[in-house]
Amino acid sequence: MRLEKSTLKDNETIKISGSKSISNRLLILSYLFKNLKIENLSNSQDTQLLHRALESNADLVDIHHAGTAMRFLTSYFAIQEGKTTVLTGSERMKERPIQFLVDALRDLGADISYLEKEGFPPLKINGKKLEKSSVAIPANISSQFISSLMLIGSKLENGLEINLVGKITSRPYLEMTLKILRNIGILTQWEGQVIQIFPNIHSDKSSQIIKCICESDWSSASYFYSLAAIGRKSINLKSFRPHSLQGDSVIKEIYWKFFGVNTISQGSESKISLMPESSFVFPEHISLDMNDCPDIAQTLCVTATALQIPFEITGLSTLKVKETDRLVALKNELFKIGCISEITDDSIYSVKFFEANENISIETYNDHRMAMSFAPFCLITPLTIENEQVVEKSYPQFWDDFAQVLDQY
């Protein structure tokens, strides 16, 4: 997709669909407890794939590139007594490790085996009743492994105690899972390194319908924060709440502190307005630990490059096992837009800015966030986004919404 050099319109309004993270958690819970009704479900490809997998009675379930679905379904199928499922995905999915989650489930008594490479999908899962109620798992791995266990915890006869070993990463995503569980009436507790999910064996027998409304997705909002920061005009986004379950809502504070984009909340309309401060003085350097919000790191690096603000972002170890190795991909593509950067196992930092070449073509590495995070750079210079349809994974209508806020698009 060719993006011509554009300017940002002022005061356009975009409605973003439900959070993928919240939707996927609620979908699993709605199939464990039959009295949940979900509204404003995400229209992302990942959520659709998860929904189809939960609806299917097939012995083989292919979730393609959907990492969250792979992790959440591994635990879900492990407790479906008497059902055998082969859970597989794309070639990239078969390269993404899942051993820590499988080990934890096996410790609880699950019957799971690897069909190809040890520690990686595809998996053969023989569903059964899990008798044990306590497990230990490293805390510095993907939070989705831990959330996967948390979601099934209350269906175990004695609940589930999860002992987190080591430094905790992506804490807000774990807190999100706990809040969602509490919202549907499941008792939970988190003290120190121990998360406790109490049994709630009667909730699926309740005749009372629990309505769950998915708030809109803050990760998707991040690309409009980038546009506002670079283009210095206001954008309105719906439907967002002032107090969010999502860790990525920290984008509000980050973009205010470093880029002068103020977030004004209009609670009665479930709307936020992104309003750049005209007199804002940009910092000389951005130094930030994004361990709690790694999914918005790419967006921030592109924004900083567009504004030529040196940056050092740490806490990004989980980016190496996403749809692609996002740190390598980010370094490669930042160079094309005028930033020499260096990476470590968990960080990226700018070394030097230079004038970007003409005929920029951004490779997306089959990663939706690469496409969307680099798109706002068209406010600086024309560029081409390769394989632009990859955005379907999380934000299918992105290009339509993106076009709506731009002139000369």
Among the listed residues 48, 20, 50, 54, the one whose alpha carbon sits nearest the alpha carbon of residue 34:
54
Which residues neighbour 330 within 8 Å (Cβ) at sequence distance 6 or greater? 297, 298, 301, 319, 341, 343, 348, 370
Could you write out the three-class secondary structure of 6-64? CEECCCEEEECCECHHHHHHHHHHHHHCCCEEEECCCCCHHHHHHHHHHHCCCCEEECC
The verdict on whether 295 is a catalytic residue reads yes
Work out the number of other CB atoms within 10 angstroms of the CB of residue 184. Answer: 18
Half-sphere exposure of 124 (CA within 13 A, CB side): 6
CB-based contact 27:212 (threshold 8 Å): no
| CA distances for 136 relative to 25, 133, 166, angstroms | 21, 11, 11
- Catalytic residue selected from 295, 325, 345, 407: 295
| Neighbour count for residue 371 (Cβ, 10 Å) | 26
Give the residue from 35, 72, 33 showing the smallest Cα distance to 51.
72
The token pair at 130 is 């899990």
Q: Would you list the DSSP string of 176-195?
A: HHHHHHHHTT--EEEETTEE
Question: Most distant CA pair in the chain: distance in Å?
Answer: 64
| φ, ψ at 356 (rounded to 5°) | -65, 150
Residue type present at position 32: L
Catalytic residue ranges: 295
